[in-house]
A = this chain, B = another copy of it.
Amino acid sequence: MCELLGMSANVPTDICFSFTSLIKRGGDKGPHKDGWGITFYEGKGCRTFKDPQPCSFSPIAKLVQQYPIKSTAVIAHIRQANRGGVALENTHPFTRELWGKNWTFAHNGQLTDYEKLDTGIFQPVGLTDSEYAFCYLINELHKKYPQQPTNNIELFEYIRECAIKLTQLGIFNMLLSDGEYVFAYCSTNLHWITRKAPFGKAKLIDEDVEIDFQKHTTPNDVVTIISTMPLTSNEIWTKLASGEAILFKNGEISQSFSS
């Protein structure tokens, strides 16, 4: 399996603290040694750092951990290969352009019969079930909405319907972003927490690191972190139910979708 990490914030925020925890699980404390990646949105643009190497030994991961890139939407992933070998083209997150927007996707789980999915003109570059599922999803959006729809809630409701179909092929926890929204869909395991004033201290589970958010924030900041497993030991994380999806924007819940 793999681990997912996402962030939605109302002001450009760095994810160094949470990423520090994630990379400890990438080849050091965890079995997720088969690559890692992180996508930062800045305006309409995004940039992805990725490496098929274990992230706990990657100089690129070290840079990402130490150089605070500030963003309002982030998607990250550490990989334990199941479908598709250890290779750059099989490393999450994956990005495709649709309607002049960069869509970024990462998946935790394992699917069967995914090669049968109709991905249309969005063809996978690598061999993972995850990229197949993403190409299927983007192609479904392209078929249903040749032009960008104006109703975003309806759009993400449709994305959840597609995610439910993909769940029929196996375990399918996913994070998806267009830079404005961060969409979390839970099949088995996904947790989230929203931090806002009054800010307190947080302590990582995987590393002896504590942060006092009050020193790094303003009273108006709102930041949500989404993660496969809780990353801190002294905060209350909420687990998404199976089949539940939450759409975040500017750090807050824009819409919840449940069965």
Contact = CB atoms under 8 A, between A and B. Distances in A.
Interface in A71-116: 87-91, 96-97, 99-102
Interface residues of A, number: 33
B45 A125 contact: yes
Given A43-B89, A45-B91, A125 B142 contact: no
Contacts of A101: 125
Contact of A102 (B99, B122, B125, B142): B125
Nearest to A122: B97
Interface in A43-61: 43-52, 59-60
A100 B121 contact: no
Copies of this chain held together in the complex: 2
A48 B45 CA distance: 13
Given A67-B59, A96-B97, A100-B125, A89 B45 contact: yes
A124 interface: yes
A126 B42 CA distance: 12
A89 to B, nearest CB: 3
A117 interface: no
Q: Give me the 4 closest cross-chain CB pairs, A-B, nearest first.
A: A45-B88, A45-B89, A100-B123, A44-B89
A159 B59 CA distance: 37
A36 B124 CA distance: 27
Nearest to A90: B45
A125 B88 CA distance: 24
Contacts of A59: 63, 67
Contacts of A123: 97, 99-100
A79 to B, nearest CB: 13
